[in-house]
Structure 1
Amino acid sequence: MNMTELKEVKANLTSELAYVLKQATSEYPSGTAVSKESTQILCNTIEALFIHGLKAAFFLKKQRSSKYPEPNFWPFVCKYTHKAVLDQIAASNQIKTEVGKSRAWIRILLNENVMDNYLVVLSRDTSTLSKFYEKWAFLRDAERVNILSDYMKGLTRLTLEAPVNSYLLNTWTPTPLILSGLMSGKPARCESYFHIHNFFFVVYLYFLELVSIYSHPSMLNEGSMSLSVLDQVNSSLVSYPVQESSSLSCGANQVAIFLELDIYLSDEVLIEMLTVIPHEKGLDFQSFRCPSCRKSIGPTFASYSKCSFDEKYYCVDCFDGAGESVIPSRLIHNWDKRSRRVCKNNMIFIESIRDKAVLRIDRINPQLYEHSHALNTVKFLREKLSLSATYLLTCRKSVAEDLESRLWPKDYLYRDIHLYSFSDLLTVLSGHMESHINHLLNFTIKHIQRCLLCAQKGFICEICSSSQVIYPFQLEITTRCLECFSVYHKNCVGQNRCPKCIRRERYSQQRPIFASHCLLFDMD
């Protein structure tokens, strides 16, 4: 690039940021957080500012499978980052690369409205800036950094909710690279937002997102992509065509405003996608086109393969490098643990949501407990863990924090014993879940036995009057009344009613008689 082009890129970055902030501030009076679309464009623009002028030494070595340059400014920004932010990034189990850390870092600072503070600190350290950035870089232009800082101060009154822990943040998308001048093309930016009310159209946009990540925008003719017939999961058909003349026709570049990596699907959508067993409907249903790249496929066109996740046919290119996976819906309904071939985009989707706990077995398929001995055993152990964890959570603060740190981020293991993620079900299959919960149980039970505070919260079976202290988590030998929560030996209570509940009932019946006697005495 010559000097004129470099100045033009910086000017474009400044104007893009001004445009994004104008859009964001115009939305704020509604009283809600900044829209996801505006938040995504803002993240893209800030990423481009930190990429612009980064020295070649800080570009990751390009992998054969990578289509884009891989600038890495994490070694620079981590030097100035607060420990709490570093801990939050380290705790994000979906973030695996330094590119992912860089992108997560930007989103955390924007969410917490502290980006302007960091910009002031970074811009003052000119010696470190010169080691990481070229002389013509945006961050080394004092005048533009001051403008940027002023813009960031305007963000402090806005509420942003940019997703941080996303598997798909680990690689770059085209827009920030285009804005920073590393690639040619047109950045994603819709002048008017989609107003989507169709549940399944949102799902389709999500799958388009996975395509956009691996498809260079300059390779697609703007406005030429049409959205074909959309398969309504498990039943009917929803058609939502977008023509070139349509007001919704933002082209592949503009559609990326929704599609650039962050997953915004609600739990209801995810549950629907993970629990409905798909049915093969044939090539004619797909209009003889690959659902991902829209390439013509069929006997007289290109060869194809069937993806077991959605039972649709994909072209060979979209299947290259594809792996195998257990299909979530078949596992949940049939306990079918056989691995099947899945196309690249669907594999990325499965990986991105594998740790999201949205599957409630008691609501989706409660009969699965009877069918699977391993799952039923885990349910039994989780119930014991739930009861024993209650003791530690009401013990000293340090003990409660220790337990929570051992369980984090899967505290639902004891809070909701029927809740699972897809990865949890896989660990049930492998036996790791059972051993993990047994390990946690050993920790909680040993503490209760040794702790003076917790040990005194046991029960004495009032039926047999045994001096042995019993606890509700001893499910093998005890039972607990669901009304008053008293604990008895299983053998003692048998089919009889809870003695404490009987006493309470008798007392409640006697209270009116006792009250009437008191009233008579008062009258005398």
Structure 2
Amino acid sequence: MDFKSEERQNLLSRLLDAVKQCQIRFGGKRELATDMDPRICCLCQQLEAVLQHGLRQPEASNTPFRQMRDAIAQNFSINLSGAPPEPPVFWHYVRLHLTRHEYERYLLLVNIHSDAGRGRAWLRSALNESSLERYLHALIGDREGMARFYEPWAVLADPEKNAMLPNIAAGLSSVLFAISIDRQELNGAARPRPRPPDLSAAPPSREPEAVVKAQSVGED
């Protein structure tokens, strides 16, 4: 197994483990899975790592999507000029598969001001809205777009590996996600290869207040 193959396998293995931990903790329960729990944070980071893997440098050409972004920014009086170019982030590819309304939604988030942040916000909202599986089918089905944005050795460009991604997302359908999508912290630099947290040493996650109250009422 060459280095790139091993890297792809390791990324998928860590993602599968993160999904399994979330299923064990939240699957089939009415309890909300929020980013207060380290398992949810780890899941988001592993998904980011897979989507970030093997991205090409963004094209400098004046693409239709850049034109659309500039038009929307001008319409809403958002100043995007003078911003330094960002490193490649998966938002550059994801945005090709959004409707205009969806695109505007992430452009107008109050606390998100970078493409890295918009990608993370999209990922979290896709989990919240149980639409990640549908988006992944679109992402891996766009062969022409994938060739433009990803290297041939990327996870998303590997037919054997990328075919697993929609099924992995489908495995999260029993989890009720309620992850914050408009937070300053999401603007940070892209994190290509995160490590899962040591859950054995982590304190037990605090259940959402609504769940605790519901349990108290049931006991009464």
Instruction: Quickly name the TM-score band, shorter chain normalised.
Output: 0.7 to 0.9
Note closer, same or farther for the CA distance 1:163–1:7 as it changes in structure 2 (3 Å cut): same
In the alignment, which residue of structure 1 is the partner of 2:147? 130
Q: 2:198 aligns with which of 190, 199, 214?
A: 190
Structure 1 residue 89 displacement after superposition: 1.3
In 2, distance between residues paired with 1:75 and 1:130? 13
Unaligned runs of 5+ in 2: 61-85, 210-220
> What is the deviation of 1:123?
1.2
Amino acid across the alignment from 1:167: Q
Alignment of 1:221-236 (within 5 A): none
Matched, 1:178 2:193: yes
Question: How far 1:97 sits from its partner (Å)?
Answer: 1.1
In the TM superposition, what are the counterparts of 1:71-470 in structure 2 within 5 Å? 71-172=88-189, 176-179=191-194, 187-192=195-200, 193-195=202-204
What runs of 5+ residues in structure 1 fail to find an aligned partner?
A: 60-68, 180-186, 198-265, 267-524
Structure 1 residue 75 displacement after superposition = 2.2
Relative to 1, partners in 2 of residues 1:58 and 1:19: Cα closer, same or farther, differing over 3 Å?
farther
- Higher RCO (C-alpha 8 Å, min separation 6): 2
> Is contact 1:108–1:164 with CA below 8 Å preserved after alignment?
yes
Paired letter, 1:42: L
Q: Give the Cα–Cα distance (whole angstroms) in 1 for the partners of residues 29 and 126 of structure 2.
A: 23
In the alignment, what sits opposite 1:56? Answer: 57
Which of the two has higher C-alpha Rg? 1
Distance (whole Å) between structure 2 residues aligned to residue 195 and residue 54 of structure 1? 36
CA gap 1:22/1:44 in 2 versus in 1, 3 angstroms = same
1:34 shift after superposition:
2.4
Deviations 1:375-423 (A, max 9, x none): xxxxxxxxxxxxxxxxxxxxxxxxxxxxxxxxxxxxxxxxxxxxxxxxx
Report Cα offsets for 1:170-201 as digits up to 9, x if no partner. 1126xx3224xxxxxxx24123231378xxxx
State whether residues 33 and 179 of structure 2, in contact with CA within 8 Å, keep that contact through their aligned partners in structure 1.
no
The alpha carbon displacement at 1:33 in A equals 1.8
Counterparts of 1:148 and 1:73 in 2: how far apart (Å)? 15
Q: CA deviation at 1:58?
A: 6.3
Separation in structure 2 between the aligned mates of residue 127 and residue 80 of structure 1, nearest angstrom: 13
In the alignment, structure 1 residue 4 sits paired with structure 2 residue 26: no
- Percent of residue pairs bearing the same amino acid type: 26
Give the Cα–Cα distance (whole angstroms) in 1 for the partners of residues 25 and 59 of structure 2. Answer: 37
Tell me if the contact between 2:58 and 2:88 (Cα under 8 Å) persists in the aligned partners.
no
- TM-score, structure 2 as length reference: 0.73
TM (normalized to structure 1)?
A: 0.32
**Partners of 1:196 and 1:16 in 2: how far apart?**
21
Distance (Å, rounded) in 1 between the aligned partners of 2:57 and 2:101: 30
The amino acid of 1:195's aligned partner reads P
**Maintained 8 Å contact 1:58/1:73:** no
Q: Is the 8 A contact 1:110 1:160 kept in 2?
A: yes
Counterparts of residues 456-495 of structure 1 (less than 5 Å): none
Looking at structure 2, the residues matched to 119 and 71 of structure 1 have their Cα atoms a distance apart, in angstroms, of 19
Equivalent-residue separation in structure 2 for 1:94 and 1:147 (angstroms): 33
- Which position in structure 1 is the counterpart of 2:81? none
CA offsets per residue over residues 275-327 of structure 1, 9 Å max, x none? xxxxxxxxxxxxxxxxxxxxxxxxxxxxxxxxxxxxxxxxxxxxxxxxxxxxx
Letter in 1 for 2:47: I
